[in-house]
Amino acid sequence: MKLFFPFLLITLIGNRTSAQDKSLDYYVGEALHNSPLLKDYNNQARSNLIDSLRIRASYKPQVAGNSINYYAPVINGWGYDNAITNGANVSELVGVTQKLVSKQNLQNQYEAIRLQNEGLTVSGKISEQDLKKTITNQYITAYGISQQFSYNKEMLDLLKKEEVILKQLTERGVYRQTDYLTFLVTVQQQEVVLNQIHLQYQNEFATLNYLSGVVDTSFIVLPPPALDSVTVPGLENTVFYHQFEVDSLKLRNSDAQIDYSYKPKVSLYADAGYISSLMYLPYKNFGTSFGVNVAVPIYDGHQKKMQHDKIAIAELTRQNYRDFYKTQYNQQVAQLVQQLQSTQQLIDQTTNQLKFTQGLIDANKKLLETGDAKIADYIIAIGNYLTARNTITQNTISKLQIINQLNYWNRK
């Protein structure tokens, strides 16, 4: 036990320099870089660009080669009717087809791809915010425990110094043996507490590395998280609201595509090659053909209206989700602002209380050296000091967590 804390202190000091490079920004950056979900969104967007190219390619001339060759022999009067089979059919053709589509229809299909990518961009930004919030929460938690370790270590160092003085005074008969033993138990309890905090910090720090995708088994002191509370914009100016806007545009695009799908469809075709039954002058059966195909929808049992009705229902659903989300957003932001104010008030109150407990400890230190201190009162003062420091730390961590939640809504 006596060798553990000096070694731990040396370890913390030795790693303090490297810790400066591993701030909150470092862990957030590593998490964003390593996230497979964000990479997935990026790959989906690249895949959608290929779909856009495929749409363009599908409306270019399509060239295909076709070969049909058969022979139907008639032997001794037995065989297929030549009036149907012509005895043989040799067809070697190269065909070209060209779909005709309006510019508006083509642009609407391109817009569908663009909106898909816009939706992926929005989803990616929201996922980034979720990941940043998770990493920041874990960083704050680990940092708070490291702060608990620091002031508990300071208190243990103080107690050990006082224990040496008290032991000398006890040997001289100034204090009773029971007073010394009571104080010694307090020192030992503080050592156990410090051990527990150290173990807890190791676990939380390992969790931070795990969530960030960082492979690191070192033990470092985390620097304070650089978090500033900013004014939260209105929901309409955030990426969260933009998600509903993109959904609305997607529905509008799908609604327009239904109308385009019921427009007359026209395509041109042409071919050239060799078609022959080999019956008469087969060497002259080289030729070409061309034409126009037109398909006009006439009646489908009102399916077009049904599809438009489904889009209208989906739009109503989207509006309901949007309105409910807006109410939740405003309520949550207002609640977080109120919690932030209340937490700051608790920090200020406890800070004032800490000044008095620190004064009591200083006074008892002087009385202890003269043999006039009451050990029980000294221990109570130490307990009150640790309680106050712990309360400040907990409220400071809560404050940072609230700021983190407020910052979550700032993404545009």
In order of 71, 151, 168, 351, 377, the CA distances from 364 in angstroms are 117, 19, 17, 20, 8
Domain ranges for the chain, please list them.
4-59+101-262+300-408, 63-100+265-296
Coarse DSSP helix, strand, coil percentages of the chain, rounded to the nearest 5 percent:
70, 10, 20
Give the number of other Cβ atoms within 10 Å of residue 381's Cβ.
Answer: 22
Alpha carbon distance, N-terminus to C-terminus of the chain: 52
Place of tokens 């663009």: 114
Tokens representing 8 are 């731990």
- Give dist(CA 128, CA 35) in Å, integer: 9
If we measure between CA atoms, which residue out of 113, 410, 406, 112 comes closest to residue 239? 410
DSSP 12-48: HHHHHHHHHTSSHHHHHHHHHHH-HHHHHHHHHHHHH
- Give dist(CA 341, CA 323) in Å, integer: 28
Q: pTM for the complete prediction?
A: 0.84
If we measure between CA atoms, which residue out of 404, 380, 395, 402 comes closest to residue 349? 395
The pLDDT of residue 252: 96
* In CATH, 4-59+101-262+300-408 is 1.20.1600.10: yes
Please identify, in words, the CATH class of the domain defined by 63-100+265-296.
mainly beta
- Give dist(CA 311, CA 258) in Å, integer: 10
Tokens representing 13 are 């000091």
- Give dist(CA 346, CA 395) in Å, integer: 7
> pLDDT tens digits for 309-349?
999 999 999 999 999 999 999 999 999 999 999 999 999 99
Exposed, middle or buried: residue 119 (CB in 10 Å: 0-12, 13-18, 19+)? buried
Place of tokens 């022959």: 276
Q: Alpha helices of 177-289 — where are they, by DSSP H?
A: 177-212, 239-261
- Give dist(CA 179, CA 171) in Å, integer: 12
Q: Which residues of the chain have pLDDT under 70?
A: 1-21, 229-230
